[in-house]
Amino acid sequence: MGLWVLEAVLTLVILYSLLPFFLSRVAGIGVMRSVRGSTSTALTFDDGPHPIYTPLVLDVLQKHGVRATFFVMGSQAELHPELIRRMHREGHGIGVHGYRHRPHWLMSPWKVRREAQRTAEVVERLTGVRPTLLRPPWGLLNLLDFVVLREFRIVLWSGMVGDWRKQSVARLSRRLQKSLRAGAVLVLHDSDETVGAEHGAPLVMVEALEKLLRETAASGMDWVRAEELERETGVDQGSRSGKLPWVTRVWLGWEHLFQRLFHVQTLRSDRDLLFVRLCRYKGREAIELDDGTVIQRGDQLMEIHLNNEQLLALHGQANSEMQLAKLLLKEMRRALRVVASHLNHPDHEAVKALYGISLINRGIGPLGFRKISMSRGLFALATKWYLRVLLRVLHPQGRERMKIRTDALVPQQVVLSRQELFARYL
């Protein structure tokens, strides 16, 4: 397996699974884990409904007048519709936990969406209300969840107490008490049928829950459904005025990580339109340019990357697509002058050309670049998939272009020789 294939596979693994884990579980981007400014605490339950444990949980909640949110599996909801109806009748929130308890890392984004929508349809058919909240099994997201699950608010947690394992009521109660704070989201489990759960563990959880609700009633703690945490602050946590949409912030976070992993560098500042990276040409076929430059496998190139954060800033300055195109052309020429100056250094004498891969590549000819079709293979397929997702997430008309111009959205290699770069921009 070639080095470029390993790089492509590594990039896809990081992009699809590890990056969203960091963004959601560590940074809290694109998800609700807790809510600042809230004076209440949300109680949530995963993996049900279960014919034995869920009724016990509902009985305890009803006894103490507490409303919670149940993230249910569609397959279980179909088996126990009376429990879904009871949850709804008693005022609890119902969210999606997938049709079956499968990690999103091991499913395609389209399968994730189908299973989420299937579960939502089951709940809507039983209650008349379609769920708007979703919690992925084990809290594991893939990156495209932020795109394909946009109809749902993704909810994780700030407190997890290991109640899927058997332990003493006293120990579980202590762990619950430590997790309590204003704005927290606690997660418990009303089933023992998922992977890793110990048989009978929810019975201990029910006892600890009874003890917790009895003790917090005396302190006046306010328990609410997960969706009510954000409502009481009066702020939409997913889209605050003056900030980029959270899905865009997620993607830009990935790009910053990508730059560190693959040594993509700024030239003057992070406001430049282009970033660069030294690399070797890995194509099997030589590239012959009009000025006589021949690029062969192993030759050194300077790979260029668009600064999408700056591209978004340019869009904010433009009043139309035509004005945006003019601004982009102007900034691109300015950036290429900076690249030419950077390349005109003894340390970069071996660099034969600038090289990049672009999905929207019409109009790049006047800048001096030559377009070259990519050879078919894993790398071309991965690049096409990556760039289409990038267009859909970051471009203001990305979704419409995906529908209308699909046949034209083919990634092309764009190459500008060192000689031509210096002649035009130095």
Q: Rounded to 5 degrees, what are φ and ψ at 338?
A: -65, -40
pLDDT exceeds cutoff 80 at 315: no
pLDDT exceeds cutoff 90 at 78: yes
- The band of 338, judged by pLDDT with boundaries at 50, 70 and 90, is very high
Task: Give me the percent of the chain exceeding a pLDDT of 70.
Answer: 81
**Helix or strand or coil: residue 208?**
helix
d(CA 6, CA 360): 26
Question: Would you state the structure tokens that stand for residue 35, as one six-digit string?
Answer: 């809510």
The CB density around residue 149, as the number of other CB atoms within 10 Å, is: 22
pLDDT at 97: 97
- Comparing 195 with 257, the larger pLDDT belongs to 195
The mean per-residue pLDDT over the stretch 302-330 comes to 81
Edge-to-edge order in the sheet of strand 370-373: 274-280, 300-306, 353-358, 412-417, 370-373
Per residue in 130-161, pLDDT tens?
A: 999 999 999 999 988 888 898 999 999 999 99
**Helix or strand or coil: residue 88?**
helix
pLDDT at 5: 60
Q: Rounded to 5 degrees, what are φ and ψ at 151?
A: -75, -15
Nearest by Cα to 384 from 361, 415, 418, 351:
361
pLDDT exceeds cutoff 90 at 255: no
pLDDT at 1: 45
d(CA 183, CA 232): 10
pLDDT exceeds cutoff 90 at 62: yes
d(CA 378, CA 245): 31
- The band of 256, judged by pLDDT with boundaries at 50, 70 and 90, is confident
Contact present, 161 and 173 (Cβ < 8 Å) = no
The mean per-residue pLDDT over the stretch 166-170 comes to 95
pLDDT at 150: 87
Q: Which residue has the tokens 């563990």?
A: 201
The pTM assigned to this predicted structure is 0.62
pLDDT exceeds cutoff 70 at 59: yes
Name the active-site residue from 46, 47, 145, 299. 46
The mean per-residue pLDDT over the stretch 230-258 comes to 59
The mean per-residue pLDDT over the stretch 192-204 comes to 95
189 assigned to active site: yes
Name the active-site residue from 104, 189, 305, 395. 189
Helix, strand, coil abundance in the chain, percent, nearest 5 = 50, 15, 35
Per residue in 79-109, pLDDT tens?
A: 999 999 999 999 999 999 999 999 999 898 8
- The band of 202, judged by pLDDT with boundaries at 50, 70 and 90, is very high
pLDDT exceeds cutoff 60 at 242: no
Average pLDDT score over the chain: 84
Catalogue all structural domains in the chain, each as residue range(s) with its CATH number: 30-233 (3.20.20.370), 263-425 (no CATH)
